[in-house]
């Protein structure tokens, strides 16, 4: 392991921290720290690396927030952004259109499964999910079934920070202190094979989940359910890869009961699983709507969207309310700069990066799995280039560690000292590196993780916490 040479923090970084503490509101602050918190400064990025305030180079383990798929500092993307800004920086999508958005919609429809051929662009993932849910409401109202609005979601899900999308979120930490549209949402179990009942096989677990879904449809009544919304792999919930065949079975129940299947691919699309979309190519499902964001521009510009099927549009056109207005649009829908960046990003993905991601994804998981030798590690799981290390107090019983051990944060701190940035999630660490990562860089990442976890184990033992 290479030791990182640290230089003392610059005055500039301290000035910035003070400005942030006085004036910047960060996402997800606690009430005690709201508006009064500086976070670690990232000064620059290059490839799979970012540089912190002290000048230390760190592997960007989470690729920002699962988004910098083609890596930092890509000249092609910077040029596309610049050229589009100089050609046309903005136009109103209410009464005009631009070239990049039409071309991008066509390219995305070409990659989307089945008859998903119509793309609405938003500003990110929350607005994509919100748009899909409001579309479901519109669709059912226009079709004369205004009661068909209940949304099925799952514990552990994350779908955004707007009112409806946040109402689907499945972690109580993220829900307890905000009002949500409780009357519209029904939560089902998290399809986490690691946390299945100890005496249950994966197959039995999958059967149980499917049965629970079917029972919920019977209990609530298909005539009252508008949509199921699900991430193919639950990302922020801890990279939960569902049991094989579970998603196609849920999709079949949705289809039989005229319930829209909204596949939230905000994280899984644009290469993270080795394909542009994972729903069909990786999981064998053809949803009615797919939502995307993040990797569509590799985070170089805020952009998201939804892809909607021909079938839904045909039904709307044939309804008795063809004049009904889908009164939904964003000032920045179809933003020309975002769409131009996304076109270039797609060129890079199609130009060999998808194949590369598929290949190194297998190696990534194989190597990470070796960390299961460490006593603190309950499970290493994942698929494609996204993975999670879940720590446990006891491997036999899989007992979770108590919240105050903050194991994720401890591992992250040690790893940062060694040159790797992680995303800590209570007792878990999540990783989704840029897709350009090489096998040698994966080796470096895993070596740092091994050392970081070992140091954490020592600390916990010394402090009598484990």
Q: Give the footprint of ligand PMP on this chain (CB under 6 A).
A: 65, 124-126, 129, 158-160, 231, 235-236, 264, 266-267, 293, 304
CB closer to ligand PMP out of 160 and 193: 160
DSSP type of residue 3: P
Return the ∠ at Cα 459 (arms to 455 and 464), rounded to 5°.
150
CB closer to ligand PMP out of 49 and 292: 292
Q: Strands 150-154 and 185-188, how do they pair?
A: parallel
Q: Strands 289-292 and 260-264, how do they pair?
A: parallel
CB of 293 to ligand PMP, least distance (A): 5
CB of 301 to ligand PMP, least distance (A): 12
CB closer to ligand PMP out of 27 and 352: 27
CB closer to ligand PMP out of 116 and 393: 116
Residue 92, SS3? coil
CB of 302 to ligand PMP, least distance (A): 7
CB closer to ligand PMP out of 10 and 171: 171
The backbone region for 41, taken as left when phi is positive above 0, alpha when psi lies in -120 to 50, beta otherwise, is beta
d(CA 333, CA 326): 14
CB closer to ligand PMP out of 293 and 420: 293
CB of 462 to ligand PMP, least distance (A): 35
By the 8 A CB rule, do 264 and 235 touch? no
CB closer to ligand PMP out of 259 and 267: 267
As to burial, measured by CB atoms within 10 angstroms (0-12 exposed, 13-18 middle, 19+ buried), residue 330 is middle
290: closest CA among 302, 301, 276?
Answer: 276
On the CB side of 441, CA atoms within 13 Å amount to 17
Minimal CB distance to ligand PMP: which residue?
A: 125
394: closest CA among 383, 405, 381?
Answer: 405
CB of 277 to ligand PMP, least distance (A): 13
CB closer to ligand PMP out of 272 and 356: 272
Chain-centroid distance, C-alpha 219: 31
CB closer to ligand PMP out of 181 and 374: 181
CB of 127 to ligand PMP, least distance (A): 6
CB of 234 to ligand PMP, least distance (A): 8
347: closest CA among 79, 23, 119?
Answer: 79
CB closer to ligand PMP out of 81 and 293: 293
By the 8 A CB rule, do 77 and 341 touch? yes
Sign of CA dihedral 344, 284, 242, 215: positive
CB closer to ligand PMP out of 129 and 190: 129
CB of 231 to ligand PMP, least distance (A): 5
Residue 295's alpha-carbon distances to 32, 93, 247, 337, 343, in angstroms, are: 33, 23, 23, 15, 12
434: closest CA among 298, 338, 303, 304?
Answer: 298
Q: Which residues pair with 44 in a beta bridge?
A: 51
Q: Which residue has 């409806």 as its token pair?
A: 164
CB of 216 to ligand PMP, least distance (A): 21
d(CA 425, CA 422): 10
CB of 340 to ligand PMP, least distance (A): 19
CB of 27 to ligand PMP, least distance (A): 8
CB closer to ligand PMP out of 419 and 434: 434
DSSP type of residue 351: I
Q: Give φ, ψ of 391 to 5 degrees.
A: -95, 150
CB of 227 to ligand PMP, least distance (A): 14
d(CA 231, CA 116): 17
d(CA 307, CA 110): 11
Sign of CA dihedral 114, 292, 93, 88: negative
């Amino acid at each position: 392991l290479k030791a990182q040479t640290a230089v003392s923090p610059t005055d500039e970084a301290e000035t910035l921290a003070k400005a942030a503490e006085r004036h910047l509101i960060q996402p997800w602050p606690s009430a005690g720290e709201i508006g009064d918190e500086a976070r670690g400064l990232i000064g620059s990025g290059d490839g799979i690396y970012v540089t912190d305030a002290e000048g230390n180079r760190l592997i960007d383990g989470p690729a920002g927030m699962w988004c910098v798929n083609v890596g930092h500092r890509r000249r092609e993307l910077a040029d596309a952004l610049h050229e589009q800004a100089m050609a046309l920086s903005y136009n109103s999508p209410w009464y005009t259109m631009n070239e990049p958005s039409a071309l991008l919609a066509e390219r995305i429809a070409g990659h989307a499964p089945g008859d998903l051929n119509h793309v609405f662009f938003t500003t990110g993932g929350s607005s994509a999910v919100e748009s899909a849910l409001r579309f479901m409401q519109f669709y059912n109202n226009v079709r004369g079934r205004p009661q068909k609005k209940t949304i099925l979601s799952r514990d552990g899900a994350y779908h955004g920070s707007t009112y409806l999308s946040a109402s689907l979120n499945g972690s109580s930490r993220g829900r307890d202190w905000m009002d949500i549209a409780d009357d519209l949402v029904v939560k089902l179990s998290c399809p986490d094979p690691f946390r299945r009942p100890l005496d249950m096989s994966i197959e039995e677990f999958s059967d149980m989940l499917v049965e629970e879904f079917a029972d919920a449809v019977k209990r609530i009544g298909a005539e009252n359910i508008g949509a199921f919304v699900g991430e193919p792999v639950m990302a922020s919930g801890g990279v939960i890869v569902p049991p094989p065949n579970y998603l196609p079975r849920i999709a079949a129940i949705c289809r039989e009961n005229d319930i829209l299947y909204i596949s939230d691919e905000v994280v899984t699309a644009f290469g993270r699983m080795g394909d542009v979309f994972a729903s069909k190519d990786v999981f064998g499902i053809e949803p009615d709507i797919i939502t995307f964001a993040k990797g569509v521009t590799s985070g170089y510009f805020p952009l998201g969207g939804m892809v909607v099927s021909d079938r839904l549009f045909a039904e709307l056109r044939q309804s008795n309310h063809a004049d009904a207005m889908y009164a939904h649009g964003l000032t920045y829908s179809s933003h020309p700069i975002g769409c131009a960046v996304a076109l270039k990003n797609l060129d890079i993905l199609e130009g060999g990066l998808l194949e590369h991601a598929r290949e190194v994804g297998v190696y990534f998981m194989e190597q990470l799995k070796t960390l299961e030798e460490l006593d603190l590690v309950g499970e290493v799981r994942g698929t494609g280039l996204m993975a999670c290390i879940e720590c446990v107090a006891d491997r036999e019983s899989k007992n979770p560690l108590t919240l105050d051990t903050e194991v994720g944060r401890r591992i992250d701190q040690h790893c940062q000292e060694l040159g790797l940035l992680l995303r800590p999630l209570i007792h878990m660490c999540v990783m989704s590196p840029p897709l350009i990562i090489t096998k040698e860089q994966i080796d470096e990442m895993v070596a740092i993780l091994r050392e970081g976890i070992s140091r954490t184990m020592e600390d916990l033992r010394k402090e009598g916490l484990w």
